[in-house]
Amino acid sequence: MTVNDYDYPSSERTDTSRQATPSSVYLALAKRASTTLVEPLPPKKQLLVLDINGTILYTHPFLGMFVRPGHGPFFDFIFKHFAVMVWSSADPGWVKQFCRVFGEHRSNLELEWSRMDIGLRPEDYFQDVLTLKDLERVWKVHPQFHAGNTILLDDTAAKAALQPFNHILIRTFDLDYDDVCYTGDNEFSKVQAYLDRLRYQDNVSHYMSKFPYDSDAPDLLAMAVPASTIATRFNFSLHGERELPPSSYDFKEGRVGSPPPS
């Protein structure tokens, strides 16, 4: 059974297949040459769709949520220049927890979307199925956004199968990966440098198809701040427990400290 076996329109497709492919309309739009503007687009004219787990933070079942180094300046940057929404394939209760990490910026999120918004069949909701993030669902709710001005930041390539040229494939933040713990992480500063270039593009899908984000690109490395091993740890508060203040956490040394870094 593939996605195309279901008699759903594109935005209603479920995600039981890795064979999902972009529509011809989408591909035609992504071919329309992007113009590099003299001035960046005004604030909020482009939409940034944020994945959470592996992109913004790492979750440990008992210890809580560990937010990627450099999130403070990154959040300040994206909320200043972009319309921002969350789209996680986790349950709504978890998404509510995750969104605490945005602090004062949270009220500026356009949407907080969860697994409920993926379009899964009921029998797939509790299964470990691939969850496609079809941006057409977002564009129905916010019709001012489209393939020309929407960017998905997600650490899983398959989730962007329907609009691959709107996708920044960020390196997964996972504290179980030895290389992350050893080298530290500075992905947010590199993504910020890339996003800053997108602000000058009138068709990001075309630009991103020609110049996809590459965590190892020399120019991004040159602009990036040094990698850090200091994350910020939040506790879970799933059942109304007290929300403890966040603390810093050196994931290379496995040490908790305070106060939290930005």
Smallest distance from the beta carbon of 170 to Mg ion, in angstroms? 9
222: exposed, middle or buried (C-beta count within 10 Å: 0-12, 13-18, 19+)?
A: exposed
Out of 51, 112, 134, 185, the only residue in the binding site for Mg ion (CB under 5 A) is 51
3-state helix, strand, coil in the chain (%, to 5): 35, 15, 50
Contact status, residue 205 vs residue 165, Cβ threshold 8 Å: yes
Q: With respect to Mg ion, which residue has the nearer C-beta, 160 or 208?
A: 160
184 binds Mg ion (CB under 5 A): no
By beta-carbon distance, which residue lies closest to Mg ion?
54
| Coil, helix or strand at residue 64 | strand
54 touches Mg ion (CB under 5 A): yes
Pick the binder of Mg ion from 16, 34, 53, 97 (CB under 5 A).
Answer: 53
Instruction: Provide the pairing of β-strand 57-60 with 64-67.
Output: antiparallel
User: Closest separation between CB of residue 157 and Mg ion, Å?
Assistant: 11
Query: Minimum Å distance from CB 192 to Mg ion?
Result: 19
Residues 6+ apart with CB under 8 A from 52: 86, 88, 90, 95, 98, 99
CB 89 → Mg ion: shortest distance, Å? 8
Q: Which is nearer to Mg ion, 51 or 136 (CB)?
A: 51
Stretch of residues binding Mg ion (CB under 5 A), selected from 16-24, 49-57, 98-106, 214-222:
49-57
CB of 55 to Mg ion, least distance (A): 5
Under rule CB under 5 A, which residues in 100-139 are in contact with Mg ion?
A: none
Q: Does 187 bind Mg ion (CB under 5 A)?
A: no
Cα-Cα-Cα-Cα dihedral sign, residues 3, 5, 10, 14: negative
Given a contact cutoff of 8 angstroms between Cβ atoms, the answer to whether 13 and 6 are in contact is: yes
144-173: contacts with Mg ion (CB under 5 A): 155
Tell me the C-alpha distance between 193 and 181, whole Å: 23
Identify which of residues 68 and 206 has a Cβ nearer to Mg ion in the complex. Answer: 68
Query: Tokens 């349950």 belong to which residue?
Result: 91
CB of 84 to Mg ion, least distance (A): 16
For Mg ion, the binding residues (CB under 5 A) are: 51, 53-54, 155
